[in-house]
Structure 1
């Protein structure tokens, strides 16, 4: 593979824009999602550009069906900052990130205006009159990177939790509400909470918990219940059957170490511990 500096000549602004958005959304996409993210206007063009980005080392293919691509270290270097999106993730996490892309594409058509920069999210909460002490905290500071934030068409703020394909809806819902019910109480009509699911069955499960779970209602749901909405994407997100990285593509295994010679570190033990994990 060519050196990083040589590969940059192929990276025009449309490709950079696509990779920038994909990284902000979690780093994974199918070919159909890439088309919706405007990588190209026609199917053959999308597939061709995805293969080109993989050959250049800015994407890697990580599954057989559906065909899923992930950003690499070269992508984060191109964008000027490292990101965990290029690293190895469980299949469940990859599935959730594909769901996040699905939701972004659908919500943009409402239209919803998404906010990705953490500093801007904090500023929006502050402008809405939300005390920073009511936000989720990490190391004593407000931390909302794990959730989508976007403006609804009526200019209210929305916070979205992306579901994961595990049988723990109650635990995830309780954590989400514990983190954001204080925010709802402080600003009330200005913020909605969304629970985004990959299918109707998961959506109904969350709705049942919101209606009938005594433990959930003990959190102080009360009059705030209408501010909590469930949403199922259409069509359902396809399920990844089997990961193929790092075995399938000769470009995949070297994509993260071909940027410059000083990036190459011999670590065979890391390659052995793949199991159900994806990415570098």
Structure 2
């Protein structure tokens, strides 16, 4: 198949960017979307041109590194996938494909399709952990947790931090990401000890990073590759209001 690509090229955040046209033929429908970009980059290198920069790592839908907007949709036309899980069979022959980076003030552009998502790291550093004394670890089975409670915590912990929720939100809110990291610890006994301090610090850091506010459109859940539920946002709000009263 043949595709016409319009890819956002930008040297750095201070430079002016633009969409650049590329034609690519002999694209196998079984290729992943990232393999298609790899093929383009090989051709660009052979021509002595600068290849398109984009984030990627595991290419198995686990790491959350690959992130871009394809034809105006976060991670492409198929909801619930990361870009590395998207295949070229989802596109028609001779189609035009627009490829752009995630757009959010809290995700400054680094180059081409790469953005800086370290704001997520700083939110985690603010309180997304459980403090533990050094020495012999406690036997896990001494703290009993029901199956439903464990499953609910695992569902929240499934967030891979890809940023699709931010990119698809009209307000560029990080509420789904932050709430998932708060909820999965709040749902287990080990995380309750620091629950109040954690939610206050993480929400404060989220606001400091410049993310927008949640307006409950639920677009984040609809595009999330892991299907993280917006019920986590409800739990975060409950934990936050409780912490404000009790502090």
Asked which structure has the greater RCO (Cα within 8 Å, sep 6+), the reply is 1
Question: Which has a greater percent of helix?
Answer: 1
TM-score by length of 2: 0.30
TM-score by length of 1: 0.28
